[in-house]
Amino acid sequence: MNRKGLEEKRNDLKSQMSALLETAKTEQRAMSDAEVKQFDELEQEIREINETIEREEKTMNKNIDTRNEVEIRESEQFVNYIRDVIENRAEVNLAKGSNGAIIPTTIAKKVIAKAYDMSSILKDATKYNTKGNLAIPVYDNSANDMSMAYAEEFTDLESKVGNFTSVNLGNFLAGALVKLSNSLVANTDIDLENKVIELMAEAVARFQERECLYGTDGKVQGLRGVTLKHTTASASVLTAEDLIKTKNMVKKGFRKNAKWIMSNDTLTAIELLKDGEDRFIFREDLSGEFDGYILGYPVEVSDNMKEIGASADVIYFGDFSGLALKQKDDAIEMQVLRERFATQHATGITAWVDFDAKVEHTQKIAKVTMGA
């Protein structure tokens, strides 16, 4: 029942209570036991309606803190650590790690979750929430050698199966640095916790997405492990044929959740392309969820993708659950750098994470590489 309905019902109940009192008064008698019971029941129902309305008002005014005691305590210690507030209670002291203070679990998970939301690649990758080294068994049937065939009774079946290999994920330490003005840090009217979470998540997402897309020698491999590759005939021009061939490199069974990843300039070039029947291959996404559709599959733009140029990997297509991302979502260490940026009237905050990313399913993702 909505607010108006509750108020109307409350007024009706009050009228019933008044009628009971008026009846007894008119008859010049005390209220009977039955009338007293009914009166008390009406009064209780009115009290419950008042409490419901009060709860609704609190919710509308955002006065309800739905966090549990642990979340509230960890939020306080996180903000106090940034503001350099001295805490005497042992239970709110942040533990020390090799790279600084270990962020409370609830805060760390918020940073990682927000980072994933900021990046399509990070969000779609298959997550492994662990800190140690990890070997993922991978079934390789790229040769299509697993089959079913007709057979005769009392005749042995010939075994045709793929091979099991493994993808090994390690630990690579990376740090992200953000700076906050000291005025913002000191301002108690600002939601410092969410502001820091947002800035840290943005820095983590930007770095990890770039590493997932292109990797670094001797560090995270990322999508360097993609083996399905289409190379264009030109070093500077993409054609509709290039995109069609790339799409068809990924088998239909793996294209259900596929999408395109490219830079904004690459998308601009593609928007003018037509297929063999003179139809534009790009379609607008009226819902606004994606940056458009190419050949029926959604497009997402990434600022980390390379622009069109000689030998550059400019487009990825496929189901990005084929990328394995190993990272402990509650293990982030942080340092607050007060003196380093003191002359800028700013406070630096570093976030340290261990992660790794590699392709674990080579048949799910293809890429477009520009010609030399």
DSSP SS3 for 131: coil
Work out the average pLDDT over 112-123: 93
Give the residue among 322, 366, 323, 361 at the shortest CA–CA distance from 228: 366
Q: Mean pLDDT check: name the lowest of 57-66, 235-244, 293-302, 327-336.
A: 57-66
Query: Cα–Cα distance between 102 and 353 in angstroms, integer?
Result: 11
CB 196, CB 184: distance < 8 Å:
no
* 144: pLDDT strictly greater than 60: no
CB 330, CB 353: distance < 8 Å:
no
Give the residue among 142, 62, 370, 349 at the shortest CA–CA distance from 235: 370
Query: Cα–Cα distance between 120 and 142 in angstroms, integer?
Result: 26
Polymer length in residues for the chain: 372
DSSP SS3 for 336: strand
Work out the average pLDDT over 240-255: 95
| Cβ-based neighbours of 339, under 8 Å, separated by 6 or more | none
- CA distances, 158 to each of 140, 152, 161 (Å): 19, 12, 10
* 155: pLDDT strictly greater than 80: no
pLDDT score of 366: 98
pLDDT tens across 177-207, in order?
888 999 988 888 888 999 999 999 999 999 9
Query: Cα–Cα distance between 107 and 113 in angstroms, integer?
Result: 10
Query: Cα–Cα distance between 88 and 270 in angstroms, integer?
Result: 60
Query: Cα–Cα distance between 102 and 108 in angstroms, integer?
Result: 9
- CB < 8 Å & 24+ apart, contacts of 247-256: 247/295, 247/297, 247/317, 247/366, 249/317, 249/366, 250/317, 250/318, 250/319, 250/363, 250/364, 250/365, 250/366, 251/363, 254/318, 254/319, 254/322, 254/361, 254/363, 254/364, 255/297, 255/318, 255/319, 256/319
Dihedral pair phi/psi, residue 124, rounded to 5°: -85, -20
**pTM, entire model:** 0.73
CB 208, CB 122: distance < 8 Å:
yes
pLDDT score of 88: 41
Work out the average pLDDT over 264-275: 93
E-strand ranges in the chain read 96-97, 100-102, 126-128, 134-140, 163-169, 172-181, 228-231, 259-262, 282-283, 293-294, 297-301, 313-318, 323-327, 333-337, 346-359, 365-369
pLDDT score of 132: 82
pLDDT tens across 201-233, in order?
999 999 999 999 999 999 999 999 999 999 999
User: CB count, 10 Å around CB of 31?
Assistant: 15
| Cβ-based neighbours of 74, under 8 Å, separated by 6 or more | 104, 105, 106, 107
| Cβ-based neighbours of 76, under 8 Å, separated by 6 or more | 92
Please spell the DSSP secondary structure of 265-314, one letter per residue: HHHHHHTT-B-TTS-BSEE--TTSSSS-EETTEEEEE-TTSPPS-TT-EE
* 93: pLDDT strictly greater than 70: no
pLDDT score of 336: 87
Give the residue among 235, 172, 168, 204 at the shortest CA–CA distance from 349: 204
Sheet holding 228-231, edge to edge: 228-231, 365-369, 313-318, 259-262, 297-301, 293-294, 282-283
